[in-house]
Structure 1
Amino acid sequence: MITGGAGGMGVATAKIVGRDHDVVLCDVRGDRLDAVTVELEGLGITATAVVCDVTDRAAVESLFTTATGIGPIASVIHTAGVSPSMGDAGYVARTNALGTVHVGEAFFATAPTGAAIVNVASMASHMLPDEVVPSGAFPSALEDPERFMADVTAAFEIAPAEARSGLAYAISKTFVRWYSTSQAERFNARGLRIVSVSPGSVDTEMGRLEEQAGAGAMVADFAVPRWGTAEEMAELFAFCASSKAGYLTGTDILNDGGVIASMRERARVAATA
């Protein structure tokens, strides 16, 4: 199963995992899902499209009912999410954080032993100082989503209004990393793996929305001076979800072309100069 299945990374991943699995694609954009399904079928990939908003827990549970009706779930690659340019802070946080909980908990409830879920976090989550991350509020997302939203919304309000969506994005992707590490032992009790991948700036429609908000400068000025490709991310997602990575769980893989490494080393050099 691939959430965000009509997006650049979702489609690229479907082309890889679809070589030896049927795929279920979900997205909120039904027209684009239809086009992707036709494209995949032209490649000999069996694809089922389901229109689903990951912020709607009942819709996510229905999605998993559809998927398990086709066959046992081998893996879920959860690419669905929104960037700061796509909405206000509350919308960004609800989609990225609670969407991850809805998908992850439905996976936990239905997937068979040996299955894996790969959640897409972000390089942005590696940039925040610990003191601005409301990590104490994170566990409530599993028990009291509205309290979680109230608590993280208070954290966004330290920023000027124009910067809150960006802060919400970074905090919500930090939550994705937290969920993917904190739940590893619980998932393993059912024979399931859970990991996250933090992409850097990726040359997709959504990635390019942030080009003028700072991503373009980071791409040009750091270790690997180019945008990552959807295919490069997809290969990593597919590996993490496969049996080849059977010992991999409870961790995040930063796949950012060395941006964070460059930033940290430059900061160290500047501090000692």
Structure 2
Amino acid sequence: MSDVTVITGGAGGMGVETAKIVGRDHTVVLCDVRQDRLDRASATLGELGISATTVNCDVTDRLAVDELFGAAQELGTVTAVVHTAGVSPAMGDAEYVMRTNAIGTLNVNEVFYATVGDGGAIVNVASMAAHILPEELIPVSAFPQALTDEAAFLAATLAGCDIAGEQQRSGIAYAISKNFVKWYSSSQAERFNGRGLRIVSVSPGSVDTEMGRLEEAGGAGALVADAAVPRWGRPEEMAELFAFCVSDKAGYLTGTDILNDGGVVASIRERARAGSNP
């Protein structure tokens, strides 16, 4: 049977670019919540000779994620998952952002853990925002509740979004939710390894995609301008890293986060250090 790679958010810029790479030697399954975008992504890949199976799936629905993996297993052996599905602050309120990014990640990873066999690997897309929010503002103590009590987890993490006023709640929710992605990908590594699975997260900076550009006026543009590499990241640059992380070449890589942000966080930290030491 052929090896299968599942790409959530597969109709987005990073998802399609990842499919172009892994589709060279894997069967590809793309999932997204918008069928029109899935149809366009499938057509784009088809022009390159890559046949992709598309599944309309909301990752916040555990049953839908179960069905996604079931569909993928009918095509072959699922060996890799690239979880890019997520939303930015401009796309909804704090609860929507938290539920999509955090609960969506939990669902995809837990079903991956339950169904994929020895040697499988998953890469979760976090964000440089997970590295920027001050640690004292991150309700890490509430994160384990996601595994046992979803309602309590959401209540605690959404309460943590109240620190900066109503207009900033979605942005804080985004940073906290991506911190959760980063935390989960580290904290669950030993458990995953018990089943022969690898788990890692990647934290992109500002990427030149439709979703990325939604945040340009909200501060992403200024961060790019002040970065060590003062330009937007390209989706294909992220895709190359995602594909490597789930490949056999990265067999020793697990339980960590890779910050791929053009030096944004490094620049922020150095300016803060220099400013405190005139």
Q: Please give the range of the TM-score, normalised by the shorter of the 2 chains.
A: over 0.9
Q: Distance in 2 between matches of 1:199 and 1:130?
A: 19
Q: After the TM superposition, which parts of structure 1 deviate over 3 Å for at least 4 consecutive aligned residues? A: none
> What is the identity, as a one-letter code, of the residue corresponding to 2:160?
A
Pair 1:101-2:138 in alignment:
no
d(CA) in 2 for partners of 1:36 and 1:8?
A: 9
Aligned partner (choices 5, 8, 14) of residue 13 of structure 2: 8
Residue 74 of structure 2 aligns to a residue whose secondary structure is helix
1:160 CA drift (Å): 0.4
Aligned match for 2:124, one of 111, 119, 123: 119
Aligned pairs for 1:76-225 within 5 A: 76-225=81-230
Match 2:234 to one of 220, 229, 232: 229
State how far apart, in whole Å, the 2-side matches of 1:235 and 1:228 are.
12
Please give the alpha-carbon distance, in whole angstroms, between the structure 1 residues aligned to 2:221 and 2:102: 25
TM-score by length of 2: 0.97
Task: Tell me the number of residue pairs that the alignment of Structure 1 and Structure 2 aligns.
Answer: 273
1:44 CA displacement: 1.6
Whole-Å separation in 2 of the counterparts to 1:247 and 1:57? 29
User: Quick one: which amino acid aligns to residue 199 of structure 1?
Assistant: P
**1:266 aligns to 2:235 (yes or no):** no
Separation in 2, partners of 1:99, 1:145: 11
CA–CA distance in structure 2, aligned partners of residues 221 and 267 of structure 1: 13
1:191-215 CA distances to partner (integer Å, 9 max, x unpaired)? 0000000000000000000000000
The sequence identity of aligned pairs, in percent, is: 70
Q: Where does structure 2 lack aligned partners over 5 or more consecutive residues? A: 1-5
Q: Deviations over 1:80-115 (max 9, x none)?
A: 000000000000000000000000000001111111
Kept in 1: contact 2:226–2:267 (CA 8 A): no
Runs of 5+ consecutive residues of structure 1 not aligned to the other structure: none
State the match for 1:52 in structure 2. Answer: 57
Residue in 1 that maps onto 2:29: 24
Query: Cα RMSD (Å) of the superposition?
Result: 0.6
The whole-number CA distance in structure 1 between the counterparts of 2:28 and 2:145 is 32
Structure 1, 260-269 or 86-95: larger mean CA deviation? 260-269
**What is the CA–CA distance in structure 2 between the aligned matches of 1:97 and 1:37, rounded to whole Å?**
27
What SS is found at the alignment partner of 2:196?
A: coil
Displacement, 1:46? 2.2
What is the CA-CA distance between 1:42 and the residue it aligns to?
A: 2.1
Deviation at 1:140, TM superposition (A): 0.7
Cα displacement (A) at 1:244: 0.2
TM-score by length of 1: 0.99
